[in-house]
Amino acid sequence: MNFLKNKGFFYGMFSGFTWALDTVLIGFVLSQTLFLSTAEIIFLAPLISTFLHDALSSVWMMLFLGFRGELKTALSKVTTRSGRFVLLGAFLGGPIGMTFYVLAVKYLGAGMAASISAVYPAVGALFAFLLIKDRLSFKNWVGLFISILFIFLMGYSGGAFDSPNIVLGFIFILICVFGWGMECVILAYGMKDDEISPEHALQLRQLLSAVTYAIVILPVFGGYKFLGTVVMSPEMLWIALIALFGTLSYVYYYKAIYTLGPTRAMALNITYASWSIILGFLIFGSPITAKIMFFSLMIIIGSVITVAKPEELSIKRWIGKGAA
């Protein structure tokens, strides 16, 4: 298939793979005793880890861009039209999306929140079509639906409907879905005129996220009283390493958005749901079943269908090749 020769396809797949590695390792870190000692710390842990993750990711990007002599250029983009759109997208996807996701986990449970949040590519695809005319064929839409459906099935768990705060939880997760879906669309719009590169956009994104967490989110939720303990702990070295993988994921995700457009980039990025299952099994020996493997395979297949051009999905074409 021709799309396999497209660098954007590999950018998107690699972004999903490295985000899965980020996810598996941050899950390991958050399972340590340090983050499980009290109910308050269990709630604060994702917010604190996200702040440290994005702050350290910003530092990694500064080192990278500084080595290339582009750091000053990247920071100067904040005053440009494209830079302002990047900051808006970053604010919606980072501080807004992630904070409301954590709040949704608190009120809905992790399984239900993760399952519902899986529809964010569909929301992003809708706004991409309405705002920047990023069109998909019917078969591409089918592929996106397949991926989202099997992510939902993989993450679904019951019990959330017993929560007395279910309405509040659903409001939070809907805000999260909107933020994550719009982030990709706005970033694509901001980068469309080549005024800002994916690497420069990521520097602004991570810096804005870290600053917003530092001056707004952590003070509001009382996170600073636990932050020092985390920074001085051995887990901090793990978080720094994880932030490096997260930075790689974001760089290639942004490259995929720039190359393929927001909808196809999201479809490839969400393969992290499959990669995380495989990596969890390979690294930590996490249990894996035939059903989960099937779900993982279907997520990847759906993502590939979303990216492929209509003529590359023609059954007649492949029958003709077989006959030849």
Give 257-299 pLDDT, tens digit per residue. 888 888 888 888 888 878 888 888 888 887 878 888 888 888 8
Q: Are 108 and 160 in contact (CB under 8 A)?
A: yes
CA angle 174, 181, 212 (to 5 degrees): 80
Residue 4: the pLDDT is 46
pLDDT value of residue 158: 45
The pLDDT value recorded for residue 310 is 65
Q: Is residue 35 within 8 Å of residue 29, measured between CB atoms?
A: yes
Secondary structure in 3-state letters for 166-191: HHHHHHHHHHHHHHHHHHHHHHHHHH
- Which parts of 33-109 fold into alpha helices (H)? 39-67, 71-76, 81-91, 97-108
- Provide the phi-psi class of 246: left if phi over 0, else alpha when psi is between -120 and 50, else beta: alpha
Which pLDDT band holds residue 163 (cuts at 50, 70, 90)?
Answer: low
How much is the pLDDT for 324? 45
- Residue 243: pLDDT band by 50, 70, 90 thresholds? very high
Give the whole-angstrom CA distance, residue 169 versus residue 166.
5
Q: What percent of the chain has pLDDT over 90?
A: 27
Q: Mention every residue, 6+ apart, whose C-beta is less than 8 A from residue 123.
A: 177, 178, 180, 181, 182
Q: Tell me the C-alpha distance between 193 and 206, whole Å.
A: 21
pLDDT tens digits, 13-45 = 999 999 889 888 888 888 888 888 888 888 888
What is the C-alpha separation between 84 and 90, in angstroms, rounded? 10
Query: Which whole number is the average pLDDT over 74-83?
Result: 89
- 92 contacts 183 by C-beta, under 8 angstroms: yes
Rg (CA), the chain: 20
What's the confidence (pLDDT) of residue 279? 87
Query: Measured between alpha carbons, how far is 188 from 279 in angstroms, rounded to an integer?
Result: 30
- What average pLDDT does the segment 302-310 reach? 78
Mean pLDDT, range 150-161, rounded to an integer = 62
Residue type at 97 in one-letter notation:
G
Q: State the burial class of residue 105 (Cβ atoms within 10 Å of its Cβ: 0-12, 13-18, 19+).
A: buried
> Which of the four pLDDT bands, split at 50, 70 and 90, describes residue 160?
very low
pLDDT of residue 5: 47
Cα–Cα dist 217/227, whole Å: 13
Token couple for 13: 């797949």
Whole-number pLDDT of residue 222: 92
Q: How far apart are CA 262 and CA 95, in angstroms?
A: 20
- Residue pair 60/244 in contact (Cβ under 8 Å)? The answer is yes
pLDDT-wise least confident of 207-211, 273-277, 298-302, 309-313 = 309-313
Token readout for 308 is 């492929």
pLDDT surpassing 60 at residue 125:
yes
Per-residue pLDDT for 318 more than 60? no
Which 3 state secondary structure label does DSSP give 224?
helix
Dist. CA 240–CA 56, nearest whole Å = 6
For 319, counting Cβ atoms within 10 Å of its Cβ (0-12 exposed, 13-18 middle, 19+ buried), the class is exposed
Stretch 173-191: mean pLDDT: 88
Residue 308 pLDDT > 70, yes or no? yes
Average pLDDT value for the chain: 83
Q: 10 Å Cβ neighbour count for 63?
A: 12
